[in-house]
Amino acid sequence: MADTGANTQVNLIKAGLEDAVVSTSEICFIDGHKGRLLYRGIDVDDLVAHSTFEEVIYLLWHGHLPTRKELDAHVKALSATANRRLAPKIISILRLFPKKTTPMEILRTGVSALSAFDPEAGDNSREATLRKSLRLTAQMPTLVAAWERIRRGKPPVAPNPKLTLAGNFLYMLSGKKPTPLATRTFDVALILHADHEFNASTFAARVTAATLSDLHSGVVSGIGALKGPLHGGANEQVMLMVEKIKDPARAEGWIKKAIADKVRLMGFGHRVYRVEDPRAKHLRRLATELGEQIHNMSYVEILNTIAQVVTAEKHIYPNVDLFSGAAYAAMGIATDQFTPIFAMSRVAGWAAHVLEQHGNNRLIRPRSEYTGATDARYVPISER
Ligand code: ACO
């Protein structure tokens, strides 16, 4: 092993930082063996049963459930047109992109552009970061919906301050008020995706914040990490797989062949959970309810068959990404919007982690174990 200069005794850890604890945190707890997920100590099952996405955002950012007065003020601010609307120049920028630009690329670039229009972009005080978090959480659904409209050649729909974040997003996509079931389903999906401890995108956001960079930069880092198919991009890949299978009658044979071919199965497996992801059961139920409402159960049937076979044969379990897409598809949402929707929720968690990181900061700067050459000589180009 090469002498790395600072520390000759390199503490080797498992690849991919598996099981490495890199910081304390009071935001989110996962029990990977019991399949429990807590936000600020509250079981996500209870939040699904009793809470709303808006209240969960408050809980993550402030560390406690709001009083009625606090919640009303928070919901009012999150719904205000002044916070939800995009600067006309942002819409003009969106119109410049090729229509084939993916929604995730638009979101990554759009969030970065929003920073240029935020009056407190460079202010890292807790108060300013909270205000920016609120604006960005309110703006991201408008950005995602605006691109969907623009790429289809339609004008963006202005946000409706009377609707919840979930209801307003669905309204801005289609221009029509969503059904109560669609609104509640979407709200629950947002609750379930809001935070998940030191997952890859949150860690990316924290690493960025730890350089004393700003909230928007942290969120852009998070979006970049979320995009990959091993993380948030898996929900899109699941739907592409379901579309390939098409017919529930083909599902069992298709998935058995995929297992035999050692294909990586999207929507299954997790770094922390050793049982089914506790979020999957809620999304399975919601996808089933929506499928029944639109009289099309084929996606859910395919996914149920796949889940049974993979669990029995591989002993890996569904994660959050397996059933979410079936619910979104039943609402008529385009497949490549699934990961931006994940980000619209996870921004709440990223912001909570940026706030926590800034509250007790130290630069995050690990080492590598150097395995390269140590005595290589510079060879002039004429001699190579
Ligand atoms: N399909 C096939 N095999 C799998 C899967 C899977 N989805 N997940 C794990 N395995 C197997 C691996 O082949 C490996 O087997 P081996 O030891 O015989 O080689 C073993 O389980 C461990 O797999 P790793 O990839 O080392 O596990 P890791 O903890 O690094 O990966 C991950 C976790 C990336 C989530 C993985 O399970 C995966 O690729 N899943 C599919 C993508 C996905 O659904 N991602 C979303 C995760 S949830 C989220 O980020 C929101």
- Say which of 31, 43, 231, 336 is annotated catalytic: 231
Q: Which amino acid is at 35?
A: G
Copy the structure tokens of residue 35.
């399949």
Give the Å distance between the CA of 114 and the centre of ligand 1: 34
pLDDT score of 12: 74
Is 45 in the active site? no
Does the beta carbon of 36 lie inside 6 Å of ligand 1? no
What is the layout of strands, in order, in the sheet containing 28-31?
A: 28-31, 36-39, 42-43
For the chain, the C-alpha Rg in angstroms (whole number) is 22
pLDDT score of 13: 82
pLDDT score of 217: 98
- Say which of 193, 196, 321, 353 is annotated catalytic: 321
User: Minimal CA–CA distance to 205: which of 131, 141, 111?
Assistant: 111
How far apart CA 119 and CA 142 sit, in angstroms, is 19
pLDDT score of 202: 98
Does the beta carbon of 143 lie inside 6 Å of ligand 1? no
State which ligand 1 atom lies nearest to the alpha carbon of 193. 51
User: Minimal CA–CA distance to 73: which of 61, 86, 55?
Assistant: 55
Query: Strand, coil or helix: what is 31?
Result: strand
Is-contact 104 157, C-beta < 8 A? Answer: no
Is 282 in the active site? no
Distances from the Cα of 306 to the Cα of 267, 329, 382, angstroms: 10, 18, 59
Is-contact 142 159, C-beta < 8 A? Answer: yes
Does the beta carbon of 233 lie inside 6 Å of ligand 1? no
* Sign of the dihedral defined by the CA atoms of residues 358, 115, 208, 349, in that order: positive
Is 231 in the active site? yes
Give the Å distance between the CA of 6 and the centre of ligand 1: 34
How far apart CA 112 and CA 119 sit, in angstroms, is 14
Annotate 3-12 with b (16+ C-beta within 10 A) or e (fewer): eeeeeeeeee
Protein residue whose Cα sits closest to atom 39 of ligand 1? 230
Protein residue whose Cα sits closest to atom 49 of ligand 1? 231
pLDDT score of 9: 55
Query: Where does residue 13 fall: left (phi above 0), alpha (psi -120 to 50 degrees), or beta otherwise?
Result: beta
Phi–psi pair at 305, nearest 5 degrees: -65, -45
pLDDT score of 56: 98
The list of the chain residues with pLDDT below 50 reads: 1-4, 6, 8
Protein residue whose Cα sits closest to atom 30 of ligand 1? 271
| 344 exposure class (CB count in 10 Å sphere: 0-12, 13-18, 19+) | buried
Copy the structure tokens of residue 206.
């924290």
Does the beta carbon of 241 lie inside 6 Å of ligand 1? no
